[in-house]
Structure 1
Amino acid sequence: MTDERPLYGYGDIAAVGALLADATRARIVTTLADGRALPASVLASESGVAASTASEHLSRLVDGGLLTVERSGRHRYYRLANGKVATAIEALAVLAPTRPVRSLRESTRAAALRRARSCYDHLAGRLGVAVTEALLDREALVRVDGVAGTERAEHDPLSAPLPGHPYELGPNADPLFTELGVDLSRVRTTRRPLLRFCVDWSEQRHHLSGALGAAVLTRMESAGWLERAGSRRTLRVTASGAQVLDRVLGVEAVA
């Protein structure tokens, strides 16, 4: 009797190896190894190549099954296809030699934007998300949709203002914002909505926007706690700002 069961050989390691053998493609998958989805323009900047070059590499990585792509508005966002890809990248990183930093360019403007930046008139990036998280921890804000912390909810866009806002002011809002030098009563008098939130494009978590978010950034800049660096959107925490962030919010300076 003939055994008609299909025969399976070894996995084609060479095919995956060929995708990762290019330095630009390797940088792209490493950038995405923390699970975020990023637009092609950011991946190009972090990889140090032109947008057209990045697009070619991204297409190959998608065709090869290492990345998936999702459209959000005018942009396409790329992420690792699944957890197995992330595990493989981590395993390869253990075997790979450490690559030395050879130029200042490798400390990219994109990395600085991810650390701390303005998003229109409010604080974004890792710092913006950390400040929002600290406001939740100290009950100046309360999340009311059942999701923990600043995590992006399943139905949220990848990068956009939220159509609603799953937060309310908490019991400690007045004393905490007063300590930061933000007058809530004054902010409430503006015609603009007090509370709004965005999904941060680089962190895929929520950050505070709206009238209150704008007031917080304005206060941090006017007090000298944040200053513009390089790009007008890039923000840097000053020495006095680091002290205030640590003392009032328990946030470690990230810029």
Structure 2
Amino acid sequence: MKDGPDISRVASLIGDPARANILSALTSGKALTATELAQEAGVTVQTASSHLAKLAEGGLITPRKSGRHKYFSLASEEVAHVLEALMGLAAGAGHLRRRPGPRDPALRQARVCYNHLAGDLGVQLYDSMRARGFLASADDVLTLTGPGAQFVTSLGLDIASLPSPRSPMCRPCLDWSERRTHLAGRLGRGLFAHMVGLGWMTREKNSRVVVLSDSGRAAFHAAFPVS
């Protein structure tokens, strides 16, 4: 066996259909219980608990207790990034598990990708910032430019207050429905949280769908215009 990372182990953890459903549910960014994840996976709670133990041992999810309840979430933003990229690869290759349903248009328009905005509006945000020189890419590294920092500040977001300084400020993330790039990293997370705080958009309960208010839609398109 050659030296180096054992990608087969990670692939086998993700490759099981029930575990894939569990991980997909956790890309919403919410921490969920074993019972909730069992429903997402279509298995019993006992079977889900076995899958959760394997995912935790493999470093893909993190369990934590709150009172009498135990919750599970993705171990890091890097895990969410890999899962979103795999969703894009599967969708592009035509590997779909079911026919599109009535909720799919809403998911394609705007949804949560772990902790940042994805879907058509997420791509629009990224394209708009790139087109106006607010984001720059060199040697596969995405950065926030000086004018970009001024723009973000003009929206009322304090860049210095963004959490998790160990993670990149900007990160390109492949959008599985658009198969184009949206913005992740600390800035992507901060912008999404800020827009929610401004009342531009809200998360639909028990879903990854993001819904814009009428005033929020106008404000979003004014802030992130595309030609």
2:130 aligns with 136
1:122 to 116, 119, 130: 116
Residue 247 of structure 1 and its aligned partner are, at CA, apart by 2.1
Q: How does 1:1-255 map to 2 (within 5 A)?
A: 38=91, 43-47=96-100, 108-145=102-139, 165-187=140-162, 190-229=165-204, 231-250=206-225
How far apart are 1:166 and its partner, in Å? 3.2
Q: Deviations over 1:42-69 (max 9, x none)?
A: 8454445xxxxxxxxxxxxxxxxxxxxx
Return the alpha-carbon distance in structure 2 between the equivalents of residues 42 and 235 of structure 1. 25
- The structure that is helix-richer by fraction is 2
- TM superposition shift of 1:193: 2.2
- Deviation track 1:178-200 (CA, whole Å, cap 9, x = no partner) reads 12221112227733321222111
Q: For the residues of structure 2 that align with 1:231 and 1:251, how far apart are their CA atoms?
A: 31
User: When the two structures are superposed, what TM-score results if normalisation uses the length of structure 1?
Assistant: 0.48
Q: How many residues align?
A: 139
Q: Partners in 2 of 1:166 and 1:185 — Cα distance?
A: 20
Unaligned runs of 5+ in 2: 1-88
2:210 partner SS: strand
TM-score by length of 2: 0.54
Aligned partner of residue 146 in structure 2, secondary structure: coil
**CA RMSD across the alignment:** 2.7
Which amino acid letter does the alignment assign opposite residue 122 of structure 2?
A: G
CA–CA separation in structure 2 for the residues paired with 1:206 and 1:44: 23
Report the Cα distance in structure 1 between the residues aligned to 2:187 and 2:111, rounded to whole angstroms.
17
Given that 2:90 and 2:96 are in contact with CA atoms closer than 8 Å, whether structure 1 keeps it comes out as no
Distance 2:183 2:163 in 1: 15
User: CA contact under 8 A between 1:194 and 1:211: conserved in structure 2?
Assistant: yes
Deviation at 1:223, TM superposition (A): 0.8
Gaps of 5+ in 1: 1-35, 49-107, 146-164
Partner of 2:162, secondary structure, is helix
Residue 40 (structure 1) shift = 8.7
**Runs of 4+ displaced beyond 3 Å:** 39-48
